Amino acid sequence: MMPEIALNILDIAENSVRAGASLIEITVSVQPEEDSLTVTIRDNGCGMTPEEMEKVQDPFFTTRTTRKVGLGVPFFKQAAESTDGSFQIDSEKGRGTLVTAVFGLSHIDRMPLGDISSTVYTLIVFNDHIDFRYTYRYGEKDFVLDTREMREMLGDSISFSEPEVSAFIKEYLETNKKETDGGADI
């Protein structure tokens, strides 16, 4: 089991990376008034057939050859559903996949959100060839980090793994998260 929601997000987004996506959109929306925390991960990767989509929620199914179990999706599903939330996968072969997990925000069994900024940072810096659009919302406030906008400002030749750039990404994510949620303990 993953200790935090942010690690589940990292794990599910790694599936999008392996699916050959060129754009991965991640949204984390915390709505205290509705008592919900909603995560969506959308990619334009290879997608799944209806049969694969059914099997992917089964822990004893994986397309990998290195081991016989595939726990990523079942972990995330279990984590959401155990908080009176919901879990859904929509996918189309050749078009991409959308994973939606809704958590009961104040539910006693909800794991902490965890270090979401680190998750997004890791995805962006170590997958330089993929574009990400990350939206973090708390109540009415939100902020976005879109790597396509970053590339426009940086030009094509500067990598996100350059120390100056990766340090900026880290600070951008942490500072803006704090200003969006006021440092709330989620």
Partner 1 sequence: MKSLEELRAIRAKMQGKVGVRAENENQIRVVVGMATCGIASGARPVLTALSDAVQEQNLTDKINVTQTGCIGLCQYEPIVEVLEPGKEKVTYVKMTPEKAMEVLRIHLLGGQVVAKYTLSAAQNNAE
Residues near partner 1 (CB under 8 A): 1-3, 7, 10-11, 14, 18, 64, 66-67, 70-72, 75, 115, 118-119, 121-122, 125-126, 143, 149-150, 153-155, 157-159, 161-166, 168, 171-172, 175-176, 179
Beta carbon nearer to partner 1, 92 or 171: 171
Cα 21 from Cα 15, distance rounded (Å): 9
CB of 64 to partner 1, least distance (A): 6
**Whole-angstrom distance, CA of residue 70 vs CA of residue 58:** 8
> 3-state class of 93 per DSSP?
coil
Give least dist CB 47 to partner 1, A.
Answer: 19
User: Are the C-beta atoms of 8 and 75 separated by less than 8 Å?
Assistant: yes
Sheet with strand 23-31: strands edge to edge:
86-92, 96-104, 36-43, 23-31, 131-138, 141-146
Q: Which tokens hold the place of 69?
A: 């179990």
Work out how close the CB of 31 gets to partner 1 at its nearest, in angstroms, rounded to a whole number: 20
Which is nearer to partner 1, 19 or 84 (by Cβ)?
A: 19
Q: Which is nearer to partner 1, 51 or 65 (CB)?
A: 65
Is 82 or 122 the residue whose CB approaches partner 1 more closely?
122
**Do the Cβ atoms of 90 and 97 come closer than 8 Å?**
yes
Task: Write down the least CB distance from residue 35 to partner 1, Å.
Answer: 26
